[in-house]
Amino acid sequence: MTGLNEEDLKKNVKDKDTWLRFVFLVLFGAAFYLSIPITFAASVLQFLAKLFGGSEFPGVSEFGENLAVYQGQLTRYLTYASDDKPFPFAPFPSKKDRLPVAQ
């Protein structure tokens, strides 16, 4: 960070784009917070399916992978690593959005 003079500081404080980003930070922060219990519920469901049925639900596994990508997108936006707004401003992640997993 560079030193700011008073004029630059006033300009930055009045910047509407910065304040709009703050609104999105609050909304996407809430989305991230809400995604955590959804992740936990999916993992408990998978555990119960494996425990009582012997195998996991493939649809829940796929949703979990998509949710993990979404959480990554949220984190990148929240930490200014990306300016791309995640869902609902972009499609919810799908199989094509996932990174390959090392075997």
Where along the chain do its domains lie?
A: 59-95
Alpha helices (runs of H) in 1-103, residue ranges in sequence order? 6-14, 16-53, 58-78
Q: What is the pLDDT along the chain (103 residues), one digit of tens a residue?
A: 556 788 877 887 887 888 999 999 999 999 999 999 999 999 999 999 999 999 999 999 999 999 999 999 999 999 999 999 999 999 999 887 776 666 6
Q: For residue 62, what pLDDT is reported?
A: 92
Peptide bond into 58 cis (omega under 30): no
CA 74 and chain centroid, separation: 3
For the entire predicted model, the pTM comes to: 0.82
